[in-house]
Structure 1
Amino acid sequence: MLPPGPKLPKPLQTAMMWTRPHRWAATNRRRYGDVFRVWAAPSGWLVYLADPADIKTVFAGDPAVYHAGEANSILRGVLGDSSVLLLDEARHRDRRKLMLPPFHRDAVRRQAELMAEIADADVARWPIGREFPVAPRMATITLEIILRTVIGTEDPARLAALRQALPRVTDMSLLGVAAMAKPELLRRWPWRGIRRRRAEADALLYAEIAQRRADPRLAERTDVLAMLVREADEGGRQMTDAELRDQLITLLMAGHETTATALSWALERLVRHPEVLRRAVAAADAGDAAGDEYLDALVKETLRIRPVIHEVARTLTRPVRVAGFDLPAGTIVMPAMGLVHASAEHYPDPERFDPDRMLAPSSASGSGISPVTLSPTTWFPFGGGGRRCLGATFAQVEMRVVLREILRRVELDTTDTPDEPQRVKHITLVPGKGARIRVRARRVTPVPVR
């Protein structure tokens, strides 16, 4: 038996899910409570969960019953059959184990200096005194970070080719989204341009893989691709070129536009909150542990109030009782971080943007919002359980480093213009106007306290 939900025609429910999922979910939660069902083609029945106790049941549940890879299968046309996002059970566990080392905290820390250099180079080209959408600049920075730290490209000509080719794969039109769900469409005439662009990107990625395998410095390299090439499972098996390609596209899709969007939201929030901006600038200038703690809190609060993805999904492989309902096999359950993050029960005054709520009690400044105790089911912008995003640490460090360099190098104008609306782009929620900002002046870079 499915939980209650709207009685609108299925095509209309599908349209609501694809065009304004966050508003549709919030409306249904107000009407039906913390568990409700909606219909969305091509997936079918979706059961939303907004109670942390029910979400814990899913995240801690048997991975043979709660299939995340199957629920993500709509992405197969882009990611490829062996993407870690599309695997389940033993295959997922083994692939995830191979991919963990490049994303350990120490490995990520070694990339921070290069992240800062990339951000600095881009910020130096920002216009002064003229309003502009910062989202494209964030996309440029995060793409360059992936090219240099994940793929590890060094040759200027190949870097230029990848900068041009990869966004054509990830920044999809309606035709591209359709082909993502139904790869067989690529054989038809209207999709030949998409097929050609994907083939061009694949050729460049396979060239990088071949170069890395032949590199005499392979053992010394710190880029993610080099580490994946070196990794082998317990039986000594290493990933094939095709498997490496799928993981690189996965890391690009999961870590490029999502991180760029989160950074854009952070700046959109900062210019509308002068006191938070002032404290963030002071934290960036300090360059010490306390400063990093505040910037990390800023990142966490941004991901809470403006989650890039509104929910995650699991397909049930057999009938299961969840949230008091006996759900049939094939149902997709949706732990909805967007609904939990907006709950006054877990986050007092949830519409207020205040990083202090993410600080330890001894570090908060008394802004009126008490610090909260985060749990894996009340703050989960990177998903949860055994499927929590591999690159979560990488993304949070990248956001902190990029924001720190921006705040140290330019003065941002504040604004009293209305908040930018959340607009759906593919499966992400982006600033509706591109996160428009104005840089007042360039700053003399302070020497951080050590």
Structure 2
Amino acid sequence: MSSGVDDLSSGGTTAGTEAPAATGGLTRPPGLRLPAVVQTLLFSECRHWLFPLLKRRYGEVFTLRLTTPTRHLVILSRPEDIKTVFAGPVEVLHAGEGNAIMGPALGDHSVLLIDEDEHRRARRLLMPAFTGAALRGYEDMVTKLTRAEVERWPEERAIGSHRRMQALTLEVILQVVFGVTDEQRLQQLRPLVRGIADIGPVTLLGLPYPLLRRVGPWRRHVSLQRRLDKLLYAEIADRRRAADLHNRTDVLSRLLQAEGAEGSQPGENRFTDPEMRDQLITLLLAGHETTATGLAWALHELVRDPAELARARKAADEGDEAYLTAVAKEALRLKPVVYEVARQLSAPLTVGGYRLPAGSTVMPAIGLVQSDPRHHEQPDAFRPERFLDGQPPANTWIPFGGGARRCIGAGFALMEATVVLRELLQRYDLRPDRPEPEAQRAHHVTLIPKRGARVVVTRRR
């Protein structure tokens, strides 16, 4: 895809910067003049410090140029500009095109990669599996899997909580979402799913290029995809034929039950097998790594704040789910797992004071708006109670995106996080392996703890 925007002029600017450029009355914000390949590497590996730096230098709206199909990015950090994007016409603001870099990893039918009528249809078919009643049905299984996992945690030595949370959320995906309970199939799926979910940023950026997919890490990823697809298609086929389908409560079975209630033929009211495969892969990649990372950051912050840890432990003992959910929300505010979301313009649109041409990609910067002291008092402090005193101002806490494209699994993720925190804090006292906080590190589209959010646990007496 072409950005449809001309290269920026450097006339009259300081070395290394760009002034707004105009093309037929269309303008674009300032930004770096570094080569696009350099900007691409900076964006993929260290956007969490690059974006704040560029905001201080250029203001609350700025531009990046990439070598990927989405070539020109306009970064936004004002709530009013983010509102323009989230509440704007879906016919103009295409999230699917904005997420195009994920296409080879997710599949063409993924709800993250389609727009307009296709997206509305897919979201309508997915919604029955994520209602409040459905979430309550999943909680017992999440609790059971969590208890089994945390009972295996070794005591009195440092462990990487991020890796342990990944193991747990993998089981949740396989058993609660995919509905796989056969141990032989689970043993086949686990290494494939881990390999798919562990895709690095360089591998992700290179997947759209056919030549790269024949070599190195790209070839390995394609091989994993093919093997996983074979198992997923077999699982879908078996589930469609299952005599006990209507007694099953996993996400895949709920999706198939909803289909049966509306019609049995592929089309408007039913996912085809390839469509179902792409939605399952999307739920896997969107729900496995992100939830595990959010939980790891929550533990990372709790163990470095004895007062908040004591309050969270008390909440776990008393069944105060509101406070435990607030802990999860505050961790997502302070350490956003995903730093930005994207929309590609299918027509010109005025955003942030600039008339942007079709083909531009606008990016509400989750990390920038959530760390702004104008919206969150003491933004560098871990204060879960800020989510007990009322909700933050609109479009200032957006870890799940917003508008018509808000993450469909947001409720599931918060339910899972609340259950995990409750079960873990009821069993263990926790402390950090060292007092210094861990840095953020880019891992494909997420930001993870650099040392794995290492903690030491001791069983409570």
TM over 0.5: yes
Is 1:145 equivalent to 2:172 in the alignment? yes
| 2: CA distance, partners of 1:181 / 1:197 | 16
Equivalent residue for 1:438? 456
Distance 2:219 2:58 in 1: 44
Q: CA deviation at 1:414?
A: 4.7
**Which residue of the other structure, out of 247, 257, 275, is the alignment partner of 2:279?**
247
Please list the CA deviations of residues 119-173 of structure 1 after superposition, one character each: whole Å capped at 9, or x if unmatched: 1111111111111211110000001001111000111111111112111112124
Matched letter for residue 270 of structure 1: L
Q: Deviations over 1:302-348 (max 9, x none)?
A: 01000000010000111111111011111100011100100000001
CA shift for structure 1 position 174: 6.1
Does the alignment pair 1:74 with 2:74?
Answer: no
Aligned position for 1:364:
none
2:117 is paired with a residue of what secondary structure?
helix
Paired residues, what number? Answer: 429
Deviation per CA, 1:354-378: give whole Å up to 9, x if none. 1111113xxxxxxxxxxx6324411
Task: Give the aligned residue type for 2:406.
Answer: R
With 39-48 and 70-79 compared, the bigger mean Cα shift is at 39-48
TM-score, normalising length: structure 2? 0.90
The answer as to 2:51 corresponding to 1:25 is yes
Q: How does 1:392-431 map to 2 (within 5 A)?
A: 392-414=410-432, 417-431=435-449
| Paired amino acid for 1:227 | R
Contact 2:45/2:201 (<8 A) preserved: no
Residue 181 of structure 1 aligns to a residue whose secondary structure is: coil
Q: For residue 327 of structure 1, what is the aligned residue in structure 2?
A: 356
Cα displacement (A) at 1:423: 0.4
SS in 2 for 1:129: coil
Shift of 1:175: 6.5
State yes or no: 1:315 paired with 2:344.
yes
What is the alpha-carbon distance in structure 1 between the residues aligned to residue 290 and residue 384 of structure 2?
20
Partner in structure 2 of residue 136 of structure 1: 163
* Distance in 1 between residues matched to 2:190 and 2:107, nearest whole Å: 21
1:169-210 CA-partner distances (Å, limit 9, x unpaired): 121246632453335643568744333221111111111111
Cα distance in 1 for residues equivalent to 2:35 and 2:211 = 28
Q: Assess if the C-alpha contact under 8 Å between 2:105 and 2:207 holds in 1.
A: yes
Structure 1 residue 22 displacement after superposition: 1.2
Q: Counterpart of 2:306?
A: 274
State the alpha-carbon separation in 2 of the partners of residues 191 and 405 from structure 1.
38
Q: Cα offset for 1:84?
A: 0.6
- Would the alpha carbon gap of residues 206 and 357 (structure 1) be closer, same or farther in structure 2, given more than 3 Å must change? same
Q: 2:39 aligns with which of 4, 9, 13?
A: 13
SS of 2:373's partner is coil
Q: Does 1:292 align with 2:321?
A: yes
- On the 8 A contact 1:13/1:38 being kept in 2, the answer is yes
Q: Is the 8 A contact 1:420 1:432 kept in 2?
A: yes
Partner of 2:154: 127
Contact 2:373 2:379 in 1 (8 A): yes
CA distance in 2: counterparts of 1:180 and 1:99, whole angstroms = 27
Q: Quick one: distance in 2 between partners of 1:191 and 1:334?
A: 27
Native 8 Å contact 2:125 2:255 kept in 1: yes
Structure 2 equivalent of residue 38 of structure 1: 64
- Of the three residues 379, 382, 391, the one matched with 2:400 is 382
The structure-2 alpha-carbon separation of the partners of 1:175 and 1:301, relative to structure 1 and needing over 3 Å to count, comes to closer
**Counterpart in 2 of 1:338?**
367
Q: Distance in 1 between matches of 2:144 and 2:339?
A: 32
CA root-mean-square deviation: 1.7
In 2, Cα distance between equivalents of 1:55 and 1:193: 38
Identical residues among aligned pairs (%)? 46
Counterpart of 1:107? 134
Cα pair distance change 1:25/1:175, threshold 3 Å: closer
Structure 1 residue 269 displacement after superposition: 0.5
Letter in 2 for 1:349: Q
How far apart, CA to CA, are the structure 1 residues paired with 2:436 and 2:216?
Answer: 44
Q: State which drifts further: 193-202 or 429-438.
A: 193-202
Q: Do structure 1's residue 166 and structure 2's residue 193 form an aligned pair?
A: yes
SS of alignment partner, residue 36 of structure 1? strand
Assess, with a 3 A threshold, how the Cα gap between structure 1 residues 197 and 62 changes in structure 2: closer, same or farther: same
Seen in structure 2, the aligned counterparts of structure 1 residues 307 and 200 have a Cα distance that, compared at 3 Å, is same
SS of corresponding position for 1:438: strand
Deviates more, 1:416-425 or 1:134-143: 416-425
Give the aligned residue type for 1:318: A
Compare 74-83 and 235-244 and name the one that shifted more: 235-244
Structure 2 segments unaligned to the other structure (5+ residues)? 1-26
Q: SS at 2:362's partner residue?
A: strand
How far, CA to CA, are the matches of 2:135 and 2:205 in structure 1?
35
**Which stretch has the larger CA shift, 406-415 or 56-65?**
406-415
Asked whether 1:357 is paired with 2:386, we answer yes
Which among 241, 248, 257 is matched to residue 221 of structure 1? 248
Aligned to 1:262: 294
Q: Residue type of the partner of 1:348? A: E
**Aligned partner (choices 84, 104, 108) of residue 111 of structure 2:** 84
Classify 1:191/1:56 alpha carbon distance in 2 versus 1 (closer, same or farther; 3 Å). closer
Aligned residue for 1:374, secondary structure, equals: coil
1:424 counterpart SS class: strand
Q: 2:432·2:454 contact (CA, 8 Å) conserved in 1? A: no
